[in-house]
């Protein structure tokens, strides 16, 4: 089993959410939240700010911790063919400057402000739905039910 700790930014402004289009190894793409892996010795709080800057070109500040999501992805759904656990720390983040651009030498080819109402029609990572549910519900436990994958929603 592989393991990854990641930090994700939920940026919502004027009824829109900031999404990043991620290139997949098969040549396709899906929409996800800005964010990614926490480096060894790095605080997830710092990682989410770094990831937003790297992936979108924008500077940001954390407004609050939203919650934590842990998911186990079956081997058949991973590139490596092994079971993978992803633990994601979700933060409400506010963009403070910069200009949206593709990630230099990375897998994020664009970032866009998308009306929250349009998200359900997008081919997306389940992380988007988790982040939006955490931001909408603000559960005291910081936990929401797992998002079923299939159709437009993928791991």
Residue-level pLDDT, tens digit, the chain, 155 residues: 999 999 999 999 999 999 999 998 888 999 999 999 999 999 999 999 999 999 999 999 999 999 999 999 998 888 888 999 999 999 999 999 999 999 999 999 999 999 999 999 999 999 999 999 999 999 999 999 999 999 999 98
Long-range contacts of 98-102 (CB under 8 A, 24+ apart): 98/53, 98/56, 98/57, 98/58, 98/59, 99/57, 99/58, 100/56, 100/57, 100/58, 101/56, 101/57
Measure the CA–CA gap between 50 and 114, rounded to whole angstroms.
Answer: 22
pLDDT computed for residue 48 by the predictor: 98
Tokens representing 102 are 């593709």
Predicted model pTM? 0.95
């Amino acid at each position: 089993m592989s393991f990854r700790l990641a930090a994700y930014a939920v940026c919502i402004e004027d009824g829109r959410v900031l999404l990043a289009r991620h290139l997949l190894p098969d040549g396709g793409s899906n929409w996800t939240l800005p964010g990614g892996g926490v480096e060894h010795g790095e605080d997830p709080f710092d990682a989410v700010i770094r990831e937003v800057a790297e992936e979108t070109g924008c500077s940001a500040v954390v407004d609050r911790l939203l919650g934590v999501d842990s998911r186990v992805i079956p081997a058949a759904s991973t590139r490596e063919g092994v079971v993978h656990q992803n633990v994601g720390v979700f933060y409400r983040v506010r963009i403070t400057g910069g200009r949206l651009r593709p990630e230099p030498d990375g897998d994020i080819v664009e970032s866009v402000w998308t009306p929250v109402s349009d998200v359900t029609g997008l081919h997306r990572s389940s992380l988007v739905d988790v982040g939006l549910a955490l931001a909408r519900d603000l559960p005291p436990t910081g936990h929401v039910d797992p998002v079923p994958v299939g159709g437009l929603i993928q791991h």
